[in-house]
Chains A and B, each alone.
Chain A
Amino acid sequence: MNIGSQMLHALIILFAAIFTDNILLARFLGMCSFLSVSRQVKTAVGLGLAVVMVMTFTIALDWLAYRYILQPYAIEYFRFILFIIIIAAFVQFIEMVIERYSPILHQNLGIFLPLITVNCAILGASLFMVIRQYNLIEAISFGFGSGAGWMMAIVAMAGIRERLNNAKIPRGLQGPGITLIIAGIMALAFIGFTGVLSGR
């Protein structure tokens, strides 16, 4: 493949990861933080940005680790452990760097960074990258797209929940109940994109 068509392919993967194959609304990964941290738009934006950054970098690191550590020794079945270690280490590292160089950002992101380690969307993206046999550029654009898609969904959800602050939601459905219903209808809307772009 020449560079032009490869860039086009990476671009298609990027948009497919955001819209047609949205990791949250089509694959239902990363639901826990999606449900719990979507109460306010500001925090949702903060967490979303953190996810975009962590996902883009860890998917690249995971790709390198998979290609140059696991594959040469034919121990691909270790990928779950290795990917989790890489993600946790990366998040810790980023937290220390941010704490040292930008206390304000650390204050805004502080709570969310450790949360990201247990965000299954991050590990999920890395595992999809293995299954679909992406090359490095494709993997990075997939990671960025998945993160951006996740962020888009959580920010939209936070907007909806802020609007619903004054709504008379039935008592039993307040909180997680209504959020799951909204997420369901969002996923229903995203079904419409089926078949528009395919990144595989």
Chain B
Amino acid sequence: MIDLDRPMAKKRTLAMTKQPIMRRMIRALLPCVIASIYFFGWRSLVIVAVSCITGFVTEYAFARRRDEPVSEAVFVTAIIYALILPPTIPFHILIFGMVFAIVFGKMVFGGFGSNIFNPAMVGRAFLYVCFPIAMTATWASAAPGPWGALGLWSTGSLPDALTAATPMALVKAGQALPPSLTTLFFGRLAGSMGVTSVLAILIGGFYVFYTKTANRYIIVTVIIVYALINGLFTIAGMPGTPGILPALMGGGFLFGAFFMATDPISAPRTQPAKIIYAAVIASGTAIIRTFSVFNGGLMFSILLANMFAPILDYAFKNQARSERTVRDTKEVD
């Protein structure tokens, strides 16, 4: 029987819509995935895969009821979410957070395109508050040697491989000097799975920057404002500030600037609002990383900026409208 009432019916057999932007994002994230395998073992790849599968199944469960295809954006969310978790994260926590991220960060708002908050950030912030020990207490150190962790399941299972704090947390507590810039650049240090290596981030980052997959204004503003504020803190001699370059290169900041802050759905739509949004992210990150009891500054400040994105848009749209009416009335005169 032909179902004339449902023109979408045939298209629905494809479980996914093609989204070229999201394809490019996934491609740009691959260097970071590879880096996470190289530094922390093959468990990283399984983490990424599990989070992708969980995300897809969760979104499919919702999308099926609405006769909508699953968006490819869910894989971008899932990969970013996996890459900013500690490499030793237990699988049940990983799955729990991913389901929360997709359901409460995305599907309750009506699915792809209407989510207010960045789903990956919602999931991670939720885990950060609910499972603080799994999220912050143990960190696997990166594997040494030229072959890295390529022959290993996980560096977390090596003897003496677990540390209690990341270099960023130690610097903040005033217990250590920031790691050398070369270490930061190659990323052989303890931290969130896929964001320790500046080199890998920059490869993907230049790709999204060059292809205009991510908004260039947001990237540039976030980096400049963050550098300026950290410069101010360093000049003022605040305790726990690493200095401009280590701050920029450490703690996955660049990953956030290129891949997390630029999420086109949860960022504002108007141009001036985008710049303010980026400035809020950068200053929030600097303040939280320097003064707060938590270290996840980037995640919290992206959520904060997401929260103000609609009202910023509202303000600038109204301004544009009133300017237009002024111009129109002048033309009438």
A185–B303 touching, CB < 8 Å: yes
| Chain A residues with CB under 8 A of B312 | 159
Q: A163-B116, A164-B109, A164-B114 are in contact. Are A156 and B292 (CB under 8 A)?
A: no
A41–B300 touching, CB < 8 Å: no
B110–A193 touching, CB < 8 Å: no
A168–B66 touching, CB < 8 Å: yes
A76 within 8 A of B: no
Q: A169-B109, A178-B109, A188-B126 are in contact. Are A195 and B116 (CB under 8 A)?
A: no
B125 within 8 A of A: yes
CA of A121 to CA of B78, assembled, Å: 39
A190–B304 touching, CB < 8 Å: yes
Q: A160-B116, A189-B303 are in contact. Are A181 and B291 (CB under 8 A)?
A: no
- Which one of B109, B307, B313 lies within 8 Å of A186 (CB-CB)? B307
- Which one of B109, B284, B304 lies within 8 Å of A167 (CB-CB)? B109
- A169's nearest neighbour on chain B, judged by CB, is B110
| Chain A residues with CB under 8 A of B311 | 41, 155-156, 158-160
Q: A185-B122, A191-B129, A192-B301 are in contact. Are A168 and B111 (CB under 8 A)?
A: yes
- A170's nearest neighbour on chain B, judged by CB, is B108
Restricting to B272-295, which residues have a CB under 8 Å from any CB of A? 284, 287-288, 291-294
B153 within 8 A of A: no
The smallest beta-carbon distance between A171 and chain B, in angstroms, is 11
- Which one of B111, B294, B314 lies within 8 Å of A159 (CB-CB)? B314
| Chain A residues with CB under 8 A of B294 | 191-192, 194-195
B156 within 8 A of A: no
A196 within 8 A of B: yes
B310 within 8 A of A: yes
- A155's nearest neighbour on chain B, judged by CB, is B311
B303–A188 touching, CB < 8 Å: yes
B108–A194 touching, CB < 8 Å: no
SS class, residues of chain A in contact with chain B: helix
B104 within 8 A of A: yes
A64 within 8 A of B: no
B310–A189 touching, CB < 8 Å: no
Q: A41-B314, A182-B116, A185-B122 are in contact. Are A192 and B307 (CB under 8 A)?
A: no
A188–B108 touching, CB < 8 Å: no
| Chain B residues with CB under 8 A of A167 | 109-110, 114
Which of B284, B310, B312 gathers most chain A CB within 10 Å? B310
A160–B301 touching, CB < 8 Å: no
SS class, residues of chain B in contact with chain A: helix
The smallest beta-carbon distance between B266 and chain A, in angstroms, is 11
A173 within 8 A of B: yes
B297 within 8 A of A: yes
CA of A189 to CA of B307, assembled, Å: 9
| Chain B residues with CB under 8 A of A41 | 311, 314
B114–A192 touching, CB < 8 Å: no
- Which one of B108, B125, B303, B308 lies within 8 Å of A181 (CB-CB)? B108
| Chain A residues with CB under 8 A of B148 | none
- Which one of A160, A170, A192, A197 lies within 8 Å of B310 (CB-CB)? A160
A196–B292 touching, CB < 8 Å: yes
Restricting to A78-96, which residues have a CB under 8 Å from any CB of B? none
Q: A41-B314, A162-B314, A182-B116 are in contact. Are A191 and B307 (CB under 8 A)?
A: no
B296 within 8 A of A: yes
B40 within 8 A of A: no
- Which one of A158, A168, A181 lies within 8 Å of B110 (CB-CB)? A168
| Chain B residues with CB under 8 A of A166 | 114
- B318's nearest neighbour on chain A, judged by CB, is A41
CA of A178 to CA of B104, assembled, Å: 10
B308–A192 touching, CB < 8 Å: no
B117 within 8 A of A: yes
| Chain A residues with CB under 8 A of B299 | 192
Q: A41-B311, A159-B311, A181-B104 are in contact. Are A191 and B109 (CB under 8 A)?
A: no
The smallest beta-carbon distance between B224 and chain A, in angstroms, is 22
Q: A169-B110, A190-B304, A191-B129 are in contact. Are A196 and B287 (CB under 8 A)?
A: yes
19 CB < 8 A contacts A-B: A41-B311, A156-B308, A159-B310, A159-B312, A163-B310, A168-B111, A170-B107, A170-B108, A170-B110, A178-B109, A182-B116, A186-B303, A186-B307, A188-B126, A189-B303, A192-B297, A192-B303, A196-B292, A197-B291
Q: A186-B307, A195-B292 are in contact. List 8 more A-B contacts (CB 8 A).
A: A163-B310, A164-B110, A181-B104, A185-B117, A185-B122, A188-B303, A194-B293, A195-B291
Residues of A within 8 A of B (CB): 41, 155-156, 158-160, 162-164, 166-170, 173, 178, 181-182, 185-186, 188-197
List 8 A-B pairs, minimum CB-CB distance, nearest first: A192-B300, A159-B311, A189-B303, A167-B114, A195-B293, A159-B310, A167-B110, A168-B110
